[in-house]
Amino acid sequence: MMAVLFDFSGTLFRIESTESWLRAVLDEAEISLPEPELTQAAKALQVAGALPGGADPAQLPEDLAEMWRIRDQSAELHRAAYTGLSRQVRLPDPELHNALYDRHMTPDAWTPYPDAAEVLYGLCERGIGIGVVSNIGWDLRPIFREHGLDRYVDAYVLSYEHGIQKPDPRLFAAACEALEVDPRDTLMVGDDRRADGGAAALGCRVHFVDHLPAAERPDGLRPVLDLTD
């Protein structure tokens, strides 16, 4: 195995809880809500699917359906799709919807899985190239830098920078090209069987992990070391 490609959200990093997300934005705006109201609003945002990296919408509004389908193809579509979902929930100030979107792009909103650094380090020690291939609408590189993981990554291939999204094989091909490796010598690691499974069309091997809270998946990435041994 010459290279490993990793998905971002739900694979190497996990987004904070919806309640933590909302609470942080309210604190920043110096807006206080009674606990029952805050809890209710957080649950409503979760059901709406408003937190990128969190749960999908329980019911997708018809007017957002097409935008949702292609949301990862540009920064503008990504923001519009998620703030559109957020606005299904009434909040004390309409500006909070944009603030919530901005919050999710900050390093504080993300936690690396407990074994992420160990696995990335182990791959680097073996001389295996590492790429991050993500369906996303913003630059995640600062997240990796802030958490000390950027040093291990040789290439980032982000959907919004290419105008295409997984499972389109062209995104995985771009990553293999950036790493100068043959797809047949490459392993794709992700949590989404449809999106990340698209790498198989190029001849990549694919390994799936469970999209769980970080504390509930302490060693889900470690099998990657065995698969590349």
pLDDT in tens, 163-222: 999 999 999 999 999 999 999 999 999 999 999 999 999 999 999 999 999 999 999 999
- Say how far apart CA 158 and CA 166 lie, in whole Å: 10
Domain termination residue (choose one: 108, 129, 157)? 108
- Are the beta carbons of 164 and 39 closer than 8 angstroms? no
| One domain for residues 165 and 176 | yes
Residue for token pair 């990554």: 153
Burial of 56 (0-12, 13-18, 19+ CB in 10 A): exposed
| One domain for residues 170 and 135 | yes
Q: Which two tokens stand for residue 226?
A: 């065995």
Number of structural domains found in the chain:
2
Domain termination residue (choose one: 88, 108, 128)? 108
| One domain for residues 67 and 114 | no
| One domain for residues 87 and 150 | no
| One domain for residues 74 and 119 | no
| One domain for residues 142 and 78 | no
Half-sphere exposure of 216 (CA within 13 A, CB side): 7
pLDDT in tens, 40-74: 999 999 999 999 999 999 999 999 999 999 999 99
pTM (2 d.p.): 0.96
User: What is the predicted pLDDT for the residue at 76?
Assistant: 98
| One domain for residues 133 and 178 | yes
User: What is the predicted pLDDT for the residue at 1?
Assistant: 74
Query: How would DSSP label each residue in 106-168?
Result: SGGGEEE-TTHHHHHHHHHHTT-EEEEEE--SS--HHHHHHTT-GGG-SEEEEHHHHT--TT-
Domain containing residue 217: 3-14+110-227
| One domain for residues 63 and 164 | no
- Are the beta carbons of 225 and 121 closer than 8 angstroms? no
Cis bond before residue 92 (omega within 30° of 0): no
Domain termination residue (choose one: 108, 127, 142)? 108
Q: What is the largest CA-CA distance in the chain?
A: 56
User: What is the predicted pLDDT for the residue at 87?
Assistant: 97
